Amino acid sequence: MKRILVLVFAALLAAGSVFAGGQQEEAAAGNSIEYVSMWNAGEPQAIFMEEMAALFEAETGIKVEITFAGRDILTKIRSRLLMQDAPDLVDQDFSELSGALLRDDSVLVEPLNDFLYNEKGPEGQASMMDLFDENLMKLYAKDGNIYFFPYEFITSGFFYDKSLYAEYGLSAPTSWDEFISNNKTLTDAGIPALALDGNISFYNAYYYYWAVARTLGAGNLMAAASDKSGATWDDPGFLKAAEMVYELSAGGENLFQSGYAGSNYPAAQADWAMGKSGAVLCGTWIPSETKSQQDAGFDMGFFPFPEIDGGKGTIADVEAYLIGFAIPEGARNSAGAKEFMKFISKEAYADQLAKDTVNIAARKNSYYPDLLLEVKPYLDSAASFHVSYDGVMQGQPEWFANVFYPLDNDLVFGNITPEEFIAKIKADTIAYWKSK
């Protein structure tokens, strides 16, 4: 028995040693790049990246070693960067990348201006920049430098059940009043007009951020968050936005599903996908995320957050939430990483990304999946872009989490009136900046 145990132990130890290669032992060679990805193995984007890596290796001979680190990739990467152990390529949404790697006190990623303006495009375009809307690319620029290279474009708005709307003679609203009227028609018929999982604060935050974008225009929420005196909150536009949100809440017309404040993700969005509510305010990932819950004939429509009479923001101002690559400072094979970025931007692959992942590719004029076709006209007619949550999530993350979220949740749940919201957020913002 003892001998058997010893043999088993020795065999397992040997197996352990064989399978156990250290990361530093696998240092990137000249003909390989290390890519640490925000996706998790098995996600459509992860499968796409694996396929791209294989095709890239076949074409160039450069091996792409991918680690699927998941959404908290930047926590892991930041410590590696500080230990001078940078991978060659990372990806994440640009707000996260910007917040983690592009701080005022330390820039931990390489600028890509030379690559974007002087490198020819994959189909012979004069420059890589020709593949994208330049305004979009400059959204996250810092001191004139562009640091990130996008491959996926996300925006947010209302996704609605077209069949349900048609059943009640409704169509996509073009104004706030029409939006309220549509929602009332549905709630009067006993159908929740809006679905919301109240336990996700950043979903709740969509409402107020978008309302401010419509009353005052982009950039104002960020200005209010950054104003140490709190005086910016005195602008009536902020109160108007709070009134819009309150009107939807349990304190106002009560247009969300019953018990929405306590609804746990993904209960409400799953119900919506199964035809139990009218619309959901979410990012363009929602068609893909709810795909396995939708009825076979689920007819999904899209409309942007409605404009309001006298508001400064219009639907031509589109939210841009970009996902893409960054090359960390100290990357051993920065040239290989750039080559991979260029490879993946080919028209055919941008289309494939959109098709396989049911998302929008960042490259101009790419394919749109059926479920997102209704988003296209709004993007095509965009006059300007602003970053998600008006940039507050990455620009003032502490304020956003500790000051804004609690009060915004209270407003969305109808626990406080618009006037109380403004008074409290002004006071809390002043207190927040005093504590700094």
User: Which residues would be at the binding site for other proteins (CB under 8 A)?
Assistant: 2, 5, 8-9, 12-13, 15-17, 19-26, 36, 39-44, 46-47, 67-71, 76, 80, 83, 265-267, 270-271, 273-274, 285, 288-293, 295
State which residue, 294 or 394, has the beta carbon closest to other proteins.
294
* DSSP SS3 for 92: strand
Return the residue matching tokens 């309001």.
308
Q: Rounded to the nearest whole angstrom, what is the least distance from the CB of residue 428 to other proteins in the complex?
A: 31
Q: Rounded to the nearest whole angstrom, what is the least distance from the CB of residue 86 to other proteins in the complex?
A: 13
Helix (H) or strand (E) holding 78: helix 73-82
Q: Rounded to the nearest whole angstrom, what is the least distance from the CB of residue 369 to other proteins in the complex?
A: 15
Question: Hey, what's the torsion of the CAs at 51, 53, 58, 60, to 10 degrees?
Answer: 150
Sequential DSSP letters for 119-183: SPPTTS-S-GGGGS-HHHHGGG-BTTB---EEEEEE-EEEEEEHHHHHHTT----SBHHHHHHHH
State which residue, 289 or 428, has the beta carbon closest to other proteins.
289
**Residues forming a β-bridge with 323:** 93, 152
Sequential DSSP letters for 291-321: GGGS-TT--EEEEPSPB-TT-S--TTEEEEE
Helix (H) or strand (E) holding 2: helix 2-19
Q: Rounded to the nearest whole angstrom, what is the least distance from the CB of residue 300 to other proteins in the complex?
A: 14
CA 204 – CA 126 distance, rounded (Å) = 43
Q: Rounded to the nearest whole angstrom, what is the least distance from the CB of residue 59 to other proteins in the complex?
A: 24
State which residue, 207 or 298, has the beta carbon closest to other proteins.
298
State which residue, 292 or 435, has the beta carbon closest to other proteins.
292
State which residue, 200 or 335, has the beta carbon closest to other proteins.
200
CA 378 – CA 182 distance, rounded (Å) = 21
The CA–CA distances, whole Å, from 84 to 34, 44, 68, 428, 434 equal: 14, 31, 20, 39, 36
Compute and round to an integer the Cα radius of gyration of the chain: 24
Q: Rounded to the nearest whole angstrom, what is the least distance from the CB of residue 155 to other proteins in the complex?
A: 17
Q: Rounded to the nearest whole angstrom, what is the least distance from the CB of residue 412 to other proteins in the complex?
A: 22
State which residue, 12 or 231, has the beta carbon closest to other proteins.
12
State which residue, 174 or 264, has the beta carbon closest to other proteins.
264
CB atoms within 10 A of CB 89: 25
Compute the 3-state secondary structure of the chain and give helix, strand, coil in percent, each to the nearest 5: 50, 15, 35
CA 52 – CA 435 distance, rounded (Å) = 48
State which residue, 232 or 257, has the beta carbon closest to other proteins.
257
Q: Rounded to the nearest whole angstrom, what is the least distance from the CB of residue 289 to other proteins in the complex?
A: 5
Q: Rounded to the nearest whole angstrom, what is the least distance from the CB of residue 389 to other proteins in the complex?
A: 19
State which residue, 60 or 67, has the beta carbon closest to other proteins.
67
State which residue, 7 or 223, has the beta carbon closest to other proteins.
7
Asked if residue 322 lies in contact with residue 155, where contact means CB atoms within 8 angstroms, the answer is: no
Q: Rounded to the nearest whole angstrom, what is the least distance from the CB of residue 147 to other proteins in the complex?
A: 23
Q: Which residues of 264-296 are buried (b: 16+ CB within 10 A; e: fewer)?
A: eebbbbbbbbebebbbbbbbbbbbbebeeebee
Of the chain, the end-to-end C-alpha distance in Å amounts to: 66
